[in-house]
Amino acid sequence: MAMDTLDLGALVAIFLALVAYFTKGSLWAVENTHYSPTFKSASSSSSGKTRDLIETLKKTGKKAIVFYGSQTGTAEDYSYKFSKELQSRFSIPTMCCDLADYDFDKLNDIFEEIDDFCLISFFMATYGEGEPTDNANEFFEYLENECENLSNVKYTCFALGNSTYEFYNAIGKKLVEEFDKFDAKLIGKLGLGDDGKATMDEDYLSWKDELFDTLRSELNIEEKEVIYEPSIKITENNELTINDKIVSLGEPNKDYINPTTDIELKKLQFGPFNHTHPYLAPIKFSKELFNSKERNCIHAEFDLSNTNLKYSTGDHIAIWPSNSNENVFKLLEILNLSDKKNQTLPGNFRPNFKKFIKINFTLFTK
Ligand SMILES: Cc1cc2nc3c(=O)[nH]c(=O)nc-3n(C[C@H](O)[C@H](O)[C@H](O)COP(=O)(O)O)c2cc1C
């Protein structure tokens, strides 16, 4: 399927989500402001949000937190699913967050300072030689060097890894080991998700079902009848038209298409790049190498010549697939929405670049 998408060429925008090198701290020789030391010591995140967990919980009224340590989005996806289910099945207001977005010095105080706070869950992927993901580095630094006590903490942990690696799920295991040292209480078992056997979903579901039984019995959390709640609500915006610059027509971010200043243009070429701001790489050349019933194989070359990007082993490309106009119009017709085809919608539909189709690729040398 991915190959068909590639074939669409002009319809498909290709992005380099530059996450992937797994040597701690190196990011294509580009400064990673998101995890920089200055960022760590600041009391608010780059988006202006506070890094103080208790302040956030008081402001939002949340009673559980789901943290993810994720490099390419799998752990992040599972944590969002899990948060949604805590909310819908147990009515626990839950927030789902990136481990890099908060400071951890008040982790133990949460359970005393926030009334009815239930639990913290972790979804932790492993990389390199049993290393944490980039967004979990500071968290482990805190556990190893600063943490003193977690005796109030009730937590769950689902580890994501691949059993073909020597350090299988090392980071989930390490988290439990560290939390044990500081007397935190693990609810249920450490979940072990295995990409190597392609059983991640099954591993997650059996861990989760068992865990939910434990939540009911150990934390006396009652389950309620699940009522369908739509995850997005659409309202129409009549102030903007499809010609306005800020209106997205399916591309990830209009700035990518129409940089209007030199600064914008430079940013598109030279970054800094990360998964929320990937480089939009033109396909220079592609040809089909072979085609069989099971799969087809395409040789594709991506042009990085106008950028400062360099390929390193483990880097990923991601594909931004677009629906064909023909299919979009067909769907609108079926839904009786054809007259709305130019309707502008207000947008919290920001794409998550981590959720692109991901391809691990090999660099062929000539
Ligand atoms: C370059 C690379 C290195 C990895 N190293 C390990 C490892 O040492 N141990 C392990 O259990 N899994 C390892 N994995 C598997 C990932 O942890 C697993 O695919 C996980 O689901 C990725 O989660 P994420 O998408 O949230 O980053 C590695 C995967 C890649 C691509």
For atom 31 of ligand 1, which residue has the closest CA? Answer: 314
The alpha carbon of 123 and the centre of ligand 1 are apart by a number of angstroms equal to 12
pLDDT score of 255: 62
Mutate to test the pocket of ligand 1, among 18, 22, 166, 195 (most ligand atoms within 8 A of CB): 195
The alpha carbon of 161 and the centre of ligand 1 are apart by a number of angstroms equal to 5
Per the DSSP assignment, residues forming a β-bridge with 185 are 154
pTM given for the model:
0.66
Q: What is the pLDDT of residues 159-188, one digit of tens each?
A: 999 999 999 999 999 999 999 999 999 999
The alpha carbon of 126 and the centre of ligand 1 are apart by a number of angstroms equal to 5
Mutate to test the pocket of ligand 1, among 126, 352, 356 (most ligand atoms within 8 A of CB): 126
The alpha carbon of 143 and the centre of ligand 1 are apart by a number of angstroms equal to 21
* Separation CA 236–CA 337 (nearest Å): 13
Using alpha carbons, select from 40, 34, 88, 100 the residue that is nearest to residue 64.
88
Does the complex come out with an ipTM higher than 0.95? yes
Q: Which residues of 131-158 are buried (b: 16+ CB within 10 A; e: fewer)?
A: bbbbbbbbbbebbeeebeebebbbbbbb
Mean pLDDT, rounded, of the chain? 80
* Separation CA 351–CA 72 (nearest Å): 14
- Helical packing angle, 74-90 and 200-218, nearest 10°: 30
User: How far are the Cα atoms of 271, 282, 332 from residue 266, in angstroms, in the given order?
Assistant: 7, 16, 38
Sequential pLDDT tens for the chain (366 residues): 444 554 544 344 444 433 333 333 333 333 333 222 222 333 344 445 899 999 999 999 999 999 999 998 999 999 999 999 999 899 999 999 999 999 999 999 999 999 999 999 999 999 988 999 999 999 999 999 999 999 999 999 999 999 999 999 999 999 999 999 999 999 999 999 999 999 999 999 999 999 999 999 888 888 887 777 776 677 888 888 888 777 777 766 656 666 778 887 777 778 777 666 778 888 899 999 988 888 889 999 989 888 888 887 777 777 777 788 899 899 999 999 999 888 887 765 544 444 444 443 333 322
Q: What is the pLDDT of residues 1-21, one digit of tens each?
A: 444 554 544 344 444 433 333
* Separation CA 276–CA 279 (nearest Å): 10
- Pocket (CB within 6 angstroms of ligand 1): 22, 70-76, 125-128, 130, 133, 160-162, 165, 167-170, 195, 314
Mutate to test the pocket of ligand 1, among 165, 275, 312, 355 (most ligand atoms within 8 A of CB): 165
Q: Which residues of 31-68 are buried (b: 16+ CB within 10 A; e: fewer)?
A: ebebbeeebeeeeebeeeeebbbbebbeeeebbbbbbb
